[in-house]
Amino acid sequence: MKLSKLSRTILVSSAGLVLATLLTSCEIETIDYLFVANSAGTGSSTSGEIQTFDIDSESGAIRNGPSPVSSGGNNPVAIAITADYANLYVVNQASNNVVHFSIAASGVLTQKDMVTTGPGPTSISVNTAQTYLYVVSGPNPAMLTAYSLSGGTIGSIAAQETLSIPGYAGDTLAPTGVTVLPNNNAVFVTAYDQSAYNPGGTTTSIANPGWVFGYTVGTGGALTSSTGSPWKAGVKPVALAADPTNRFVYVTDFASNQMIGYTIQSGSLLDYMINGPFSAGSEPNSLVVDPRGLYIYASDELSNQVTAFNISLATGTPTATINTTGSQTNSTDTEPVSIVVDAALGRFVYTANYLGNSVSGFRLNPVTGALIPTQASPYPTGAKPSAVATVPHGNHAIETVTP
């Protein structure tokens, strides 16, 4: 019998739901908790929510964990976790706020406090010292704001910087991503110039569209613009990540289907990798560097896949990784927009699939960096999942790796 495309889709979705149900009823050894921010609830709620899943230590399959909780606002778009895995922060873009949750040993989230941000917050990062929370918002204005943290509680503004392109101060700048180096000494922000890049519309500026801003972190969280900042970053940079050795920064260029690499000089200055940029899939957005500093994984929104790269420890140069099927393609469900490597052992990779209403899972080969799908992937979630994060379960020692 030949099935129609719609029938095949229904059959595959039904099979995924059955397998997920079976996993829920089976005993698994939980190695991590996976948190997923959904733009709408799993039930009748239309506000944002955070779902919690258990990750199986052997297969990487996930099952439903503690009950979902409200994200504390509408349209959650980003999640950050503190280095001690005790606190979670979620950005609710439509509500212009960041909400703080404590994370129990059981994976249960409890809302603690919140802060109102500038209009249109898009990304968030916490330093490893757990003393500052960095949020970018905009446009009009485009801002980087550092909030003080004490025991996970969000405090007052420690520093705030307006993002502007030299010579084009009147342009509309849209911040897209923020990351802080593991050594806590520098912060980097991606943004693109909407006055110079406006698909389907008119442009009013001849400025380069894409940029990376760099700041050193001083006493009391003070931010000082790095010499030479901002640096050009293609057309539409949408995310960035630093390696665990504080030597390299990588940026996804959504509009050019590529990843741009930079080496870090003098703590906060960027220099382009001479053999870049590096080809990715169609519309790469989120990316993550694994804890070993050996691999990079980028979720490609339009081509519904994950592009895997090996990192040269000497130069930081990424090279596309061939997976076990002899292909560079690691297929996900529809429109992966966020990606994470599990925090416990760095053996599994997960994507939030915005239009697939699901999470895709992969097993990471620690020797080659190649990925293979986990059991029963993809896994159903609430509506329009937009961000993922993990914390170790706490029932075993966390593997530490030195790049």
Give me the pLDDT at residue 5, please: 38
Cβ contacts of residue 67 below 8 Å, gap of 6+?
52
Q: Is the pLDDT of residue 63 over 50?
A: yes
Q: What single-letter DSSP state applies at residue 340?
A: E
Single-letter residue type at 24: T
Mean pLDDT over residues 318-322, rounded?
86
Q: Is the pLDDT of residue 205 over 60?
A: yes
Report residue 46 CA to chain centroid gap: 23
Q: Find the helix or strand (DSSP H, E) in which 25 lies.
A: helix 5-25
Q: Is the pLDDT of residue 45 over 80?
A: no
Give me the pLDDT at residue 41, please: 65
Give me the pLDDT at residue 323, please: 73
Q: Is the pLDDT of residue 16 over 50?
A: no
Q: Is the pLDDT of residue 48 over 50?
A: yes
Give me the pLDDT at residue 302, please: 97
User: What percent of the chain is modeled with pLDDT above 70?
Assistant: 89
Q: Is the pLDDT of residue 12 over 50?
A: no
pTM value?
0.91
Q: Is the pLDDT of residue 350 over 60?
A: yes
Q: Find the helix or strand (DSSP H, E) in which 339 lies.
A: strand 336-341
CB atoms within 10 A of CB 334: 14
Q: Is the pLDDT of residue 144 over 90?
A: yes
Give me the pLDDT at residue 29, please: 84
Question: Mind listing the pLDDT tens digit for each residue in 231-284?
Answer: 999 999 999 999 999 999 999 999 999 999 999 999 999 999 988 999 999 999
Per-residue confidence band for 6, with pLDDT thresholds at 50, 70 and 90: very low
Q: Find the helix or strand (DSSP H, E) in which 244 lies.
A: none
- Cβ atoms of 212 and 239 closer than 8 Å: no
Give me the pLDDT at residue 399, please: 52
Give me the pLDDT at residue 322, please: 73
- Cβ atoms of 69 and 77 closer than 8 Å: no
Listed range (324-333, 338-347, 350-359, 380-389) with the worst mean pLDDT: 324-333
Question: Mind listing the pLDDT tens digit for each residue in 186-201?
Answer: 999 999 999 999 998 9
Give me the pLDDT at residue 43, please: 53
User: Cβ-count burial of 15 within 10 angstroms (0-12 exposed, 13-18 middle, 19+ buried)?
Assistant: exposed
Question: Mind listing the pLDDT tens digit for each residue in 149-192?
Answer: 999 999 999 999 999 999 999 999 999 999 999 999 999 999 99
Distance CA 298, CA 384 (A): 19
User: Parallel, antiparallel, or unpaired: how do β-strands 30-40 and 49-56 relate?
Assistant: antiparallel
Question: Mind listing the pLDDT tens digit for each residue in 284-298?
Answer: 999 999 999 999 999
Give me the pLDDT at residue 10, please: 40
Give me the pLDDT at residue 202, please: 93
Q: Is the pLDDT of residue 394 over 90?
A: no
Give 30-392's CATH code, choosing from 2.130.10.10, 3.40.1160.10, 2.40.30.10, 3.30.1280.10. Answer: 2.130.10.10
**Which residue stretches of 65-199 are H helix?**
none
Q: What share of the chain is helix, strand, coil (3-state, %, to 5)?
A: 5, 50, 45
Give me the pLDDT at residue 42, please: 58
Mean pLDDT over residues 353-372, rounded?
96
Listed range (39-48, 129-138, 382-391) with the worst mean pLDDT: 39-48
- Cβ atoms of 226 and 204 closer than 8 Å: no
Give me the pLDDT at residue 9, please: 40
Give me the pLDDT at residue 11, please: 41
The residue with greater pLDDT, 324 or 86, is 86
Question: How do the domains of the chain map onto residue ranges?
Answer: 30-392
Cis amide leading into 230 (omega within 30) = yes
